[in-house]
Amino acid sequence: MFLDLSPSLIAGFVLEFTGPLPEAAALREHLRERAAELPALGLTFPDSAKSRRWSAAARAASVEFSHRPDLADEDALRVAVTELFDRPFPAEPAPQWDLLFLSGYDAQRFTVIYRANHALQDGVGMIQNLQALLGDPRDEPLGLRPGRRPTARAVVNIARDVRATREGPAADPVGGSPAPLRWHFRDFDRSHLAAAAESRGVTVNDLCLATLARAVRAVGMRHPTLLVPMSTRRPAERYTPGNFTAGYLLRIPTGNPLSPEDALRSVRRQAGNARRTNERDTRRAVLTGLPNALARRAARPVIVNVGLTASSATLPHLEIGDARLIGAAMAHSAPSSLALDAYVSFATTGTTVRCSVFHRKNLPGELLVETARNLFLDLHQHEPNRALRLGM
């Protein structure tokens, strides 16, 4: 379905490591051996327009090492990353993923950029593949949720979201050069986030979404909703090719300034409802149970017509030689075929939660993540409301 709705959508991860970059030749051979064992990494586009099956790729994917002395600082690195996510995969039957090790301004740091066709790999599937490629084989793989019974209430919620997004913001017209892709990020302290969430009786993810909602209003963005993706990938599908993702719409409260209590109360109510009614498995059951044409009609408004997406992911501990992972961002090419204004993500690694935004349109992206960071830092000035802690 993702292949039909946006075949050019490239997603991935930008991983920041501290430590020396290992010797390239041995690491490249090691990665290619591991990649050969992962099903999604050996596939390319279907061999005909009518086929619904991915084809076997005729050659190995690109695993490259690039030392760029011109990358003098983080600003230059961000430009290099966005240029890469602006680059499509080859048109010929080629693997729909690649991996780049990028070094530059600091000999004790390097960046790993993993890209994949989003129809072939969702975010959680990418994390599974990254752990298999870069992690220690002795480590336990990340846990995946088993399926649960769908609910009638969630079906009502799905119909509501489709109606709400049927007339969404217009995508950029086809033709001409799209606006350049931009990327900005700020880091949050994970332990402080966890303490703030616990004191308010909410999850860390709920607190991140509420902080983002406040930032959206504070910078003057008028988006009425956030699309919140949810992985439906199950334990038996750990390495299965495809995009196992659903999503629900979270209504952003009005008001500027939007108080922490109002934002958290709204997010907790909506996110809690999605969890209680099991929208995750219900959306999967609805989309897989419909004929393909109907499934596309049901999913298209929510996937294509929503202007703001907010994802979250937790990455495993990763070490490459003597280097260790210290930060990550979920990346998105934001193609002009979508009405997506901005793709925001919260990626957790070790002690850090990195809030990132990828966008093309003329939006205050850097101001958005800086405002979110400042609002989070200001939370200690707001004593948790007792009614909020009690769930009222």
Q: What is the pLDDT of residues 117-166, one digit of tens each?
A: 998 999 999 999 999 999 988 888 888 999 999 999 998 888 888 777 76
* CATH number, domain 152-314+337-389, options 3.40.50.300, 3.30.559.30, 2.30.30.60, 3.40.47.10: 3.30.559.30
Report which of 171, 122, 175, 172 is spatially closest to residue 301, judged by C-alpha positions: 171
Report which of 42, 81, 63, 247 is spatially closest to residue 162, judged by C-alpha positions: 247
Please say whether the beta carbons of 159 and 247 come within 8 A.
no
**pTM exceeds cut of 0.75:** yes
Domain 2-134 and domain 152-314+337-389, same fold? Reply is yes
Please say whether the beta carbons of 115 and 84 come within 8 A.
yes
Please say whether the beta carbons of 288 and 103 come within 8 A.
no
Identify the residue with better confidence: 211 or 257.
Answer: 211
Cα 58 from chain centroid (whole Å) = 29
Element holding 276 (H helix, E strand): helix 260-276
pLDDT at 196: 94
The class level of CATH for 2-134 reads alpha beta
For the chain, domain boundaries:
2-134, 152-314+337-389
User: What whole-number distance in Å separates Cα of residue 16 and Cα of residue 328?
Assistant: 6
Return phi, psi of residue 80, to 5°: -60, -40
- Starting at the edge strand found earlier in the chain, the sheet holding 225-231 runs 182-189, 352-359, 342-349, 308-314, 225-231, 245-251
Tokens 């966005």, residue? Answer: 82
Phi-psi category of residue 141: left, alpha or beta, with phi > 0 → left and psi -120 to 50 → alpha = beta
pLDDT at 246: 87
Report which of 135, 133, 64, 114 is spatially closest to residue 324, judged by C-alpha positions: 135
Report which of 226, 184, 196 is spatially closest to residue 376, judged by C-alpha positions: 196
Phi-psi category of residue 157: left, alpha or beta, with phi > 0 → left and psi -120 to 50 → alpha = alpha
Sign of CA dihedral 255, 258, 261, 266: positive
Would you state the structure tokens that stand for residue 46, as one six-digit string?
């279907």
Return phi, psi of residue 325, to 5°: -75, 130
User: What whole-number distance in Å separates Cα of residue 184 and Cα of residue 364?
Assistant: 10
Inform me whether the pLDDT recorded for 45 exceeds 60: yes
pLDDT tens, residue by residue, 82-94 = 999 999 887 667 8
Most confidently predicted of 1-5, 14-18, 198-202, 282-286: 14-18
pLDDT at 360: 87
Identify the residue with better confidence: 115 or 68.
Answer: 115
User: What whole-number distance in Å separates Cα of residue 170 and Cα of residue 194?
Assistant: 38
Identify the residue with better confidence: 7 or 309.
Answer: 309
pLDDT tens, residue by residue, 168-211 = 554 454 445 678 899 999 999 999 999 999 999 999 999 999 99
Would you state the structure tokens that stand for residue 177, as one six-digit string?
């050069």
